Chain A
Amino acid sequence: MRLKQLLTYIGLIACCAIILFPIYWAVSTSFKLPKDVFASPPIYWPSSGTLANYREVIARYLTPAIPNSAVVSLSSTALALLVGSAGGYALSRFPSKRRGSLAMWILSTRMMPPIATAIPLFLMLNAVNLLDTRLGLILAYVAFNLPFVVWVTKGFFDEIPVEVEESALLDGCTPLGVFWRLAIPMALPGIVAAGILGLIFSWNEFLFALVLTRSSATTLPVVMSSLESTDGIYWGHIGALSTIAIVPVLILAAFIQRYLVRGMTMGAVKG
């Protein structure tokens, strides 16, 4: 029995090392002095560090990429939550055959290669002059997050017994009132979890941002992807940018730790 435990620990620690090493590498690189960044053999534990990478990165990329990412992610997620939880509630409380196929449709939008939607969205936004604007990107991101939000909130609403709502209805409350004042508070943890996951997805999204923005509304992932200049890639900056991109995600994820598994597998697993 002891051997089995020992082997398990070794295995688990090995897995965690593999999982965390790339992230550790980025973070440690972000603090390295310029001469250490390209050192060969590579320096695993830097003996001296600097904050210069962060200072340079923030000076160059603080506007507009990081605020754009933040604003677009927050707005689109808030909107998607509002619209999507209503939809999830409706799908949960009013089952019917047509709703079933609607749910199937919502799930199947996950299967579309984003490039198929990106092309027409590009032309559509161009036609109404919303290309390279935060608003245009927000509109696209809400559509991008909606299926996920509807699906996950539906799962949470399914778990809340209907009886409380039905007795409220009998007491004279309107169905919308029941939704707003009863169902949402009861499903709040799930809604928050869906929201945080949507926030993470929007923060990380790349293809639509690449296609639909140029210079004003560009987001963090797009800026990161264009770091190759004529002087080559500077890893110190990349390390810093990666860390800036990763840290908010990890902090947010820690908050919804309980619901992470469920959200990431689209409700397939209750975690």
Chain B
Amino acid sequence: MRAGWKEKAILLGPTVAWLVAFSVFPLLYTLDLAFRQWSIFTRENPPWVGFENFRNLLFDGRFWSSLKTTLLYVGSSVTAEVILGVGLALLLWQPVRGSRIFRAIVVVPMLLSPVVAGYLFRMLFHETAGPLNHLLAMAGLGRVNWLSDPSWALAAAILVDVWQWTPFVGILALAALESLPAEPLEAARVDGAGNWHLFRHVILPAIAHVVWVAAILRMVDGLRVFDVIFVLTHGGPGVSTEVASLYTYLVGFKSFNLSYAAAMSYGLVLIALGLVRFLARGAGVTQHK
């Protein structure tokens, strides 16, 4: 369709202007901040300190530990979400009556605020009054100090993430399953292939690409995780669940060391970008859509 540049400007202009003002410019501002030393006293014109913030970042053990926690969190939750999500998709794929209702229900966890999800599970994880420990005890497995034991807290957070986002992988995998051409499946079945063989050698390769995309999307979102951790454990006990975003927030808005937090944010952004490019290339995908 053809139109003058004036119309294009009116249509696209506001979007671009808004994003430049509130997305692009802030990121450049952060970069500038990272090279200065911001403090409440020097907030008018913070002095330039070059790479000092970045140098401190390199030697900040707590930062690298938070990064490790984040990666552990993302790796575990995404792996679980992929395995469970494909399983869920297979279940939803079966032609049973009422599967539409199930599909509608399955979407619900993703709609909740992570803050709400965090509180829901805080109630569930309570050591004595929480149903989870009660059910575990009834099954003879003994109680777990989910949120007060440093060894379990991260697992608890991962569980929440898996609860909330497995359906995400599930519906993507389901769409892939539903777009599978029927012939290869029929042909294999006619040749006498069993269900497991069918799954492993026919179905799985066909939906692998979509599942990988879902995994990448979840990984990108996982690197930014903040809300759930803030509410569920607030980084504790100790710093056992302190993810990178949370540490950055504490540095920036509790210690008010905004320029150091800026440098840290930039480190996170670069790491996220690098990770995504590496993973996307690994899938032989340049960028989906």
Contacts and interface: CB of A to CB of B under 8 A. Distances in A.
Interface of A: 4-5, 8-9, 11-12, 15-16, 18-23, 25-26, 29, 37-42, 44, 83-84, 86-87, 89-91, 93-94, 102, 104, 106-107, 109-124, 139-140, 142-143, 146-147, 150, 162, 165-166, 169, 174-176, 179, 200, 203-207, 210-211, 221, 224-225, 233, 235, 238-239, 241-242, 245-246, 249-250, 253, 257, 260-261, 264-271
A142 B17 CA distance: 12
B96 A115 contact: no
Given A23-B120, A175-B1, A12 B91 contact: yes
A200 B114 CA distance: 12
Given A23-B108, A146-B19, A86 B115 contact: no
22 contacts: A5-B94, A15-B88, A19-B108, A21-B124, A22-B121, A42-B131, A87-B15, A94-B8, A119-B30, A121-B22, A146-B18, A203-B113, A224-B119, A233-B122, A245-B116, A249-B111, A250-B111, A260-B107, A261-B171, A267-B289, A268-B175, A271-B175
A175 B4 CA distance: 9
Nearest to A249: B111
Contacts of A118: 249, 252
B55 interface: no
Given A22-B121, A242-B120, 11 more contacts: A8-B94, A9-B96, A18-B163, A19-B105, A86-B12, A112-B272, A119-B30, A119-B33, A175-B3, A207-B227, A245-B112
A16 B287 CA distance: 33
- With most chain A CB atoms within 10 A of its CB, the pick from B163, B224, B276 is B224
B54 interface: no
B75 to A, nearest CB: 17
B106 A113 contact: no
A261 B92 CA distance: 14
Nearest to A242: B116
B26 A117 contact: yes
A211 to B, nearest CB: 6
Contact of B123 (A25, A267, A269, A270): A25
B51 interface: no
Contact of B262 (A106, A119, A245, A250): A119
A124 B26 contact: yes
Interface stretch (B57-65, B184-192, B196-204, B263-271): B263-271
B258 interface: yes
Contact of A113 (B7, B29, B94, B268): B268
A111 B273 contact: yes
Contacts of B245: 113-115
- With most chain A CB atoms within 10 A of its CB, the pick from B16, B129, B172 is B129
Given A123-B29, A175-B7, A206-B226, A116 B252 contact: no
Contact of A25 (B27, B120, B167, B268): B120
Contacts of A91: 12
Nearest to A106: B19
Contacts of B171: 261, 264-265, 269, 271
Instruction: Return the 4 tightest CB-CB contacts between A and B, nearest first.
Output: A87-B15, A204-B113, A143-B22, A120-B26
A120 B119 contact: no
Secondary structure call for the A interface: helix
A115 B115 CA distance: 16
A26 B119 contact: yes
Interface string B278-289: 000000000111
B102 interface: yes
B96 A12 contact: yes
B213 interface: yes
B258 A19 contact: no
Contacts of B122: 233, 238
Nearest to A203: B113
Nearest to B227: A206
Nearest to A169: B1
A70 to B, nearest CB: 14
Contacts of B268: 113, 115-116
Contacts of A233: 122
